[in-house]
Structure 1
Amino acid sequence: MRELRDIEGLHPRDLTQRQRLLVLFVISLVVVVLFYTVVYNWGMRTLENDPQSIFRSLNTVVETMTTTGYGADSPWATPVMNVLMVTIQFTGVIIGFVTLRVLVIPLFERTPLNLADRLTSKNDHVVIAEYQHDTELLLDELEELDIDYVLIESDVEEAKRLSDEGYQAITGDPEERSDLDRATIERASLFITDAGDRTASIVLTALEANEDLRVISFTESTRRKAALAEVGVDRSVAPHALIGRRLAEKATTPVTGPDRDDEDEVDVREILVRRDSPLHGVRVSDSPIVNHPNLTLVAGWFDGELHLPPSPNDELTPNTVLVVAGTRSELDEITDEIAGVRSRRIETPSKLVVAGFGEGGTAAVDALPADVSVTTIDESEGRNPDVVGDVTEPETLRDAGIDDASALVVTVGTDSTALMTVAIARSLSSDVEILARVTDSDKTRAAFRAGADYVLSIQQVSARLVAAEVHGEQVMSPTNQIRLIRADAAPFAGESLANARRNIERGWTVVGVSRGGTVRTDERITIEADDDVIVAGSDDAIQEFERTVTSS
């Protein structure tokens, strides 16, 4: 009955193989009973010359098929015979239950469970061959986006647990063609593998089954990228290096713009949503910054992904960084009003400390601009860091210059070490901006409590990357410089500032209007032809603005 309830309201393609077999069985049973009923009714009327109603024929057929009656011999006239027949019928039912419990159920319990029977019909889906991070986090991300997938898991118990919880998972060895076929690899569009040294073998087997597959591979080191490309991997992702680069870019994102010599000039600042902020849990569309008539939300960082501009439905969490434009006085006022946030002007840091000089730390250093001074720390002398020592010791951080640093990037090996490093660094400096990498997404909150300003989880970033790749979107891309420019307001003449800001999909936005030496940011103001407009956006967006707007 539970299987029947589960299939109510589903489209046939959404049914699992077991559910489809159940539907087929029920339909077949009804068809057989109706067929016999019609034939029996016809036979009684034509052959036996004993016509009866179709419902009497149906009753006789059901009694006979269930062995609870004998059709032509009933009804019986004497009470004794009726009691006897009732007793026989109950006995038959009891025997049936005993047979089911003693013979049939144990037989099925000894039969290996085929998880592929639970899969819904697949086409143009994602096949995931092993996944070494948080599997449920990834699958939840795919299901939230309504993306079809099949996970092949070599651990039998883990595969069964995931399948029992409703995930589309099967047990198998992705190096075996037969197990890939059970995941309908021939109809898949994307193949994702995270199988370490087995990656090459798995990819070659998958491409043999479907040469049109787009293949993404997770790897521990960027040094394997060329080799994986040779076997057919379209994109290799090293999460540690990816996050190291992202943290470095986040710590050094600059802004260029008009001269800002007084409080009435336009400025751009980052406002970090901290754990005790009243903005926590508020959607972008409901935030006081968006609804402020004199401020413009230019961009936002959401779990390491740049949204330029943010969607109104994006939720502000303690890992969100908002890029806000407006006059200095307005920015100072809104920052003072919103307790629990820390604001900083976006400017190139003079000094950066990188704790952990492995794959992630190396990638972070490589991503830094040439004008940034960087000091690296690692306990392994073989990695050639600037300072050799334990990053959880205050003396080591002091030797690296934590007191004078504008930012600390933490890319150490374990989450416990990362949390201790963050706590020690925060105790040594209340001003340094701390950006940390953790493996387990559950440790993100702990890193904030320890004093981090910005945290990225390998598990969360990997799941987001997979989901974005399915849609063909670029994620975790290098940060474009956020710029402010002055431009001729003629193309916007007659529009209100609010209307000029409305088209947010273009990647740039009109922050304010410069008139008579004063910048006005009230969105109710009407733009005049002899005004200047202040426009904010990424490098690419500003270049597009200059090509399509100011040159027209």
Structure 2
Amino acid sequence: MERQILYIIILAISVLVTGTAGYIIIEGWPLLDAFYMTVITLTTVGFGEVHPLSASGKLFTIFLVGSGVFVVTYSISFLVGLLAEGRAGEFLLRRRVRMELREIEGHFIVCGCGVVGSEVVEYFARTRESFVVIERDESKVKEVLKNYPELLFMVGDATREDVLKEAGIDRARGLLALLGSDADNVYTVITARFMNPHLRIVARAIQPESIEILRRAGADYVICPQKIGGLRLAAAALRPQVTSFLDLVLRSEAFDLSIEEVTIPENSPFAGKSLRELNLPGKIGLIVVAVKPVNRPTFEFNPRADTVIGEGDIIIVLGRLQQLAELRKMVTPE
């Protein structure tokens, strides 16, 4: 559709340029007179000739009128087709998406919108994360758009550099490789890592033996739904209440709960203070589940009240989305 519109614009400009140049060459008219004559000829307003025409000029005008009729007829038929098929809204939607993609930054790129990708979209939308979806199957995109009409999306191949570049991979915070085959996911991870070495990449492994391959390709974290699904089934059988609580936290439809990680930036008012001084449960109602100091590979679960928070440390907290948003404001340097 975009190409057809481009063709119409190119045709219209070509006819205008050809008509103007023709009158200049054949009749020797000034540029303004030649352009004016071209416009009134193409629009058939009937104002008459600017100057008397020679025989060659009359033949050229006949050719110009024929060309104008062709361009106008083609343009009208295309516009009528857009309205009849209801595609005008689709064109405006794609244009809006392209404009927003030029400005977006600090976002996630979700590659693939199948069963797993749709769940990721639902979670990101609920937690108000900024993200872009890339999916080669347009029907899957339309299905997701029914529930999330403001979704930023691209219909394309996520393994291609030009598609990832248009999705703003150089400005992105992370990428999720959730395509339908391990081979495509490996290629996407390699391409994404090459284009943005600092990107956080999470990949899905369809086959368990692909986990290590995806890690070597550059994925920071690899998940195999088959393994995770088996563990969740066993946990649901052995510890049903724990599993129900984790489902509540991860999905948070009922109580708007979420468990999040927050990194303490440089010059943050949190730096150098203990958990007792910060008093997050008392001030905003958040529960501090764990702390990961920047200079240690492991987490400190259920940290003590005298645990001091430093720059670059990561705190894992449990709370409502509004409380989490308040925490992010509090850690930001003034």
Superposition TM-score tier, normalisation by shorter sequence: 0.3 to 0.5
TM-score, normalization by structure 2:
0.47
TM-score, normalization by structure 1:
0.30
- Max Rg structure: 1
Greater fraction helix: 2
